[in-house]
Structure formats: C-alpha cells, structure tokens
Amino acid sequence: MYDVLIVGGGPVGACAAALLARGTGGPGLSVALLEPKPPAPLAAGAALEARVVAVSRASERTLISAGAWPGILGPRLCAYERMRIWHESVSPTSAAALVFDAADVGEPNLGYIVENRLLQTALLEAFTRSGGHIEPAQLLRLRIGEAAVEVETTHGTFSARLIIGADGAQSAVREAAGLAAQVGTYGQTAIVATVATARSHEMTAWQRFMKAGTLAFLPLADGTSSIVWSADEELAPGLMAASDADFALELDRASDLALGATRLVSPRQSLPLRRLRAPRYVARRVALIGDAAHVVHPLAGQGVNLGLLDAAALADLVLAASAGGEDPGALGVLRRYERWRKSEVALMSAAIDGFDRFLAHGTGPLARLAQQGLSWVNNAPELRRLFIRRALGMSGELPRAAR
C-alpha cells in the first residue's frame, strides 16, 4: 500500500514522483511509479537526439526542486537567449519580426533546449535516489474504493490512497476513472529532425508563421538545430517522402534561409498533432497531470512546461494535506489542484490556438491584425517584457517547487 501511485514515467509523471518522494519542506511520501518503457540512459558522447523540448525558467526551478537538474546540466544542454518570430509576409531580419531577448528582463537566458530522453532519465534517477520504486508495468484496471484504489497491472496488483494519471494523451487512467476527454485535430503533422545550418543559430529559437503551418529551429549545444515543422496534412506526406536533399531544399524555402542553407543530420520523424482537453482533471482518489489532462500545439513549446507545473502544484497540495493529517486522495484536496491548474492551462491553450489560427493559418482582417501585432509588440518594451515573463513561466500563481 503506497501513499501515491503514479501511472506513466514520462517527464511529467517522473517529476511528480520525484517531488512527492522528496517532499518540499517536509517529509516525502511513499511513492511507486508504473512505466512499461523506461528509457535506456544516453551513452556519454552519443549524438544529440532529434526529440527535444524547450524548458522555461519555472520548469528549470521545478527540476532543481525535484533533484533532477544536476543530471541534465552538462555539455548536451543548450541555453537559448532570444526568440525571433516572424510572419512569412516579412523577412526574418526586418523590424516587423518580433524579438524576445532575455537581456530585456535582465535574465541570462530564456530557458534551455533539452533532449526528451535526458529530461526523462534525469527525473527517473532523481526519483529512485529519493527512495521511490519504479515498476516496469502497464496499468490494466483500476478499482476505486472507500479508503484506497486497487490497481491491476501486467506485474501484479498494487494499492494506493491516490492514483496520478501521467500516462499521456491516450491515458488509461483517465478512461478507467470515467473522466472524459475532448479531442480535436489541428489538421497538421509535426516533422521533427536535426539539421546543420550554414549560419550560426546564435543561441536563438527561430519561428516562422506561414499559411501552411509553422516552422521552428531550436538551437542545440553542438551548433546544429532541431526543427519542428508543423505542416498542413496535405503537405506533410510529400515532405516525409522527399529525399534528404529535396527536403532540405523545401526547408530552405520555408525558412526563407533565415539560418542559411540546411542539411539533414538525422532521420525525419512525423507526429500527427491533436488537441485534447479533459473537462475534469480529478475524481475521488484520482488526478490527471500533463498530456493525460491537456495536449496543446507544440508551436509555443509549452506542453512539458504546463505538465511540470501541474506536477508541482499537485505535489504542493498533496504534501500539505498529508502533513496536516488529511487524506491525500480526498476529493477536496484534488479539486483545489483542478481549480488552480485548469484556469492556467485554459489561458495558455487559448493563446496557442489563437497563434495557430490567426498567425499561421489566418486570412482576412483579424489575421492581418495579428500579423501587425508582432511589430507592435516589438515596439512596445513594457508589453514585450510582459510576454517574456510569460515565456519564462514566471507569471500566475507558481507552486512552491517552481519559485
């Protein structure tokens, strides 16, 4: 019988597990984690992987609180100092391109580009170092009782006072607990790859909004860049089928040669993009975090960042409830988590969908207004600083681990 059982050891589940097992400012809880596919650690000197995420300052602080930062910090990590965002109707270097610079808010950088696998393994290691138990099992069934939840898995049966569903967009916990999900499509496929570029990335994340999607170049530590090309569904199959040389030519056209000519240095991966929103994040003794509760478009690089803050917020409330002698699985405790995070996530999802609808795909007066907005924000230092603080994740009510 555990205090908490977490289903899913992706970055979000592993972070919740490490925070709960360590305790923030008090003793930790007894925590087990189910992860059927734990990642193999990266060999020292291995080539950088194409699947990366941009983590914000709030996420960096959460990862420090979880004890995972020393495992991430090192030569594979790349800090990015600015973002350059432009619409296809203007050139990347024109005054109409929006530039967010960390120096504008007195920060050394806007965040870091981290490989997914490095993030996940560092968090899982931090969890086991804090005395947590990882079971390489898959959830089969849940039975929610008065005092505990019984969890049937491929490796036996466990029980816990609280189950956290961190098992991604296809969450089995969400379904077993009878929690609904509203799923929609963006009509786009993300193509991810690592590319070498003729010009330096200048520690900058570059993003171009186009009628047929968005294209981002995220800077990597070895001077290459990871691209995320969210291409309309009609365009994506052709881009995936093209030879490496033809794909690079298409990429040069789509990037307007912002970083000069490109060359592929990894295979391409394609991921269909969906949006997902669970109207309820909690039920008695069950809470959903990360992609199990919400999936957003990758254009703003916020999926993991939102999920890590879910993990930190839930850990705050559950640890406080436990320290006060309350049942950590009580619906009252979990509803506080839902109220806190649902409103923050709704705000961010609406902004992201607005960018996709008006900046990337839009036509007509509203789209023109949004495109014009990029240069207005660029010319309004106070407004620009406000957006930078949002991008750093340092706005809204922050959980203790992220402060």
Task: List residues near ligand FAD by CB under 6 A.
Answer: 7-13, 34-37, 53-54, 138-139, 166-168, 172, 190, 192, 228, 271, 290-291, 298, 301-305, 307
Instruction: Count CA atoms within 13 Å of residue 275 on its CB side.
Output: 19
First CA to last CA across the chain, in angstroms?
32
Q: Among residues 172 and 370, whose Cβ is nearest to ligand FAD?
A: 172
Q: Among residues 304 and 321, whose Cβ is nearest to ligand FAD?
A: 304
| Owner of token pair 């205090």 | 3
Task: Output the smallest distance, CB 136 to ligand FAD, in A.
Answer: 9
CA distance 329 to 339: 16
Task: Output the smallest distance, CB 143 to ligand FAD, in A.
Answer: 16
Task: Output the smallest distance, CB 227 to ligand FAD, in A.
Answer: 10
CA distance 69 to 85: 29
Rg (CA), the chain: 21
Dihedral sign for Cα 308, 19, 116, 32, please: negative
Q: Among residues 168 and 328, whose Cβ is nearest to ligand FAD?
A: 168
Task: Output the smallest distance, CB 205 to ligand FAD, in A.
Answer: 9
66-92 per-residue burial string, b: 16 or more CB within 10 A, e: under 16: bbbbebbeeebbbebbbbbbbbbebeb
Q: Among residues 15 and 96, whose Cβ is nearest to ligand FAD?
A: 15
Backbone angles phi, psi at 157, to 5 degrees: -110, 140
Q: Which residue is nearest to ligand FAD (CB)?
A: 10
CA distance 123 to 128: 9
The residues that bridge with 150 in the sheet, in sequence order, are 143, 159
Q: Among residues 11 and 213, whose Cβ is nearest to ligand FAD?
A: 11
Q: Among residues 23 and 36, whose Cβ is nearest to ligand FAD?
A: 36
Task: Output the smallest distance, CB 299 to ligand FAD, in A.
Answer: 9
| Owner of token pair 């969210």 | 230
Task: Output the smallest distance, CB 10 to ligand FAD, in A.
Answer: 2
